[in-house]
Amino acid sequence: MSDSKRLAGEKAIEFVEDGSIVGVGTGSTVAYFIDALARIRGRIEGAVSSSEQSTARLKQHGIPVIDLNAAGPLPLYVDGADECDPHKHLIKGGGAALTREKIIAQASQRFVCIIDPAKRVPVLGRFPLPVEVIPMARSMVAREIVELTAGQPVWRENVVTDNGNWVLDVHGLEITDPVALEQRLNQIPGIVSVGLFARRPADVVIVGGEPPLVL
Ligand SMILES: O=C[C@H](O)[C@H](O)[C@H](O)COP(=O)(O)O
């Protein structure tokens, strides 16, 4: 598993443009991408980071971390996923970094998603859908989700996001229309962001293996 994550992360380096600022996601697969990026750090201007975790790793490698507001639109965003369907729609947020990830994905011209083969599914939903919520809205949002979907929201206790918020994981979904579900959930007050990347899916998916598969 970790070998396929490493192979996916290393393959993504081929998408990095010289002199650019690279958007960097979060997670164990991205950690391999950051390590590979370190080997070419002289060729890039820096990185925009989606989490404190990735910022720490980038800095350890001496890669300059640049504020998104100072960077403008990015040519490339590289990130992992918890699930990926055949339309490159994703579930993300297993590491609670979904909101900043979504912001950087939106700011990027090309989103390259790096996954191991186990992340590929025909229909999203086996992995519980993460939803970042403002703490005071947790119970209300959970009730709304129960009313709106067939899912069961579970509070991810003891987890506080980098933005100071909480996470609900919605179990038992079979997401046949990810764009519609993302839109509907986004309308509930108190939801900061939904870990569905359907309105802005990945552009390229790299599945780690020998050789890696580029979809
Ligand atoms: O919040 C975390 C991110 O969305 C990750 O990209 C996702 O959880 C996949 O992580 P990993 O590469 O560790 O499986």
pTM metric for this prediction = 0.96
For residues 147 and 185, membership in a common domain is answered with yes
**pLDDT value, residue 182:** 98
Give the SS3 label for residue 197. Answer: strand
As separate numbers, helices (DSSP H) first and strands (DSSP E) second, the chain gives: 7, 13
How many residues are given for the chain?
Answer: 215
* 150 annotated as a binding-site residue: no
**pLDDT value, residue 1:** 60
Evaluate if residue 90 carries a pLDDT over 90: yes
What's the structural domain count of the chain? 2
Could you tell me the two tokens for 83? 């699930």
Give the domain extent around 152: 129-195
For residues 7 and 106, membership in a common domain is answered with yes
For residues 81 and 110, membership in a common domain is answered with yes
For residues 98 and 70, membership in a common domain is answered with yes
Atom of ligand 1 nearest to the CA of 93: 1
16-61 pLDDT, tens digit each: 999 999 999 999 999 999 999 999 999 999 999 999 999 999 999 9
Q: 122 has which bridge partners?
A: none
For residues 84 and 147, membership in a common domain is answered with no
98-144 pLDDT, tens digit each: 999 999 999 999 999 999 999 999 999 999 999 999 999 999 999 99
132-175 pLDDT, tens digit each: 999 999 999 999 999 999 999 999 999 999 999 999 999 999 99
**What CATH number is given to the structural domain containing 19?**
3.40.50.1360
For residues 185 and 103, membership in a common domain is answered with no
Nearest Cα to 113, choosing from 102, 99, 127?
A: 102
- Å from CA of 101 to ligand 1 middle: 10
Give the SS3 label for residue 148. Answer: helix
**What CATH number is given to the structural domain containing 185?**
3.30.70.260
95 lines ligand 1 (CB under 6 A): yes
Could you tell me the two tokens for 52? 């404190």
Residue 2: band (very low, low, confident or very high) from pLDDT cuts 50, 70, 90: confident
CB count, 10 Å around CB of 180? 11
- Å from CA of 93 to ligand 1 middle: 6
Q: Provide the mean pLDDT of the chain.
A: 97
CA distances from 84 to 31, 81, 104, 164, 175 (A): 19, 7, 18, 27, 12
For residues 95 and 146, membership in a common domain is answered with no
Give the C-alpha separation, 92 to 128, whole Å: 10
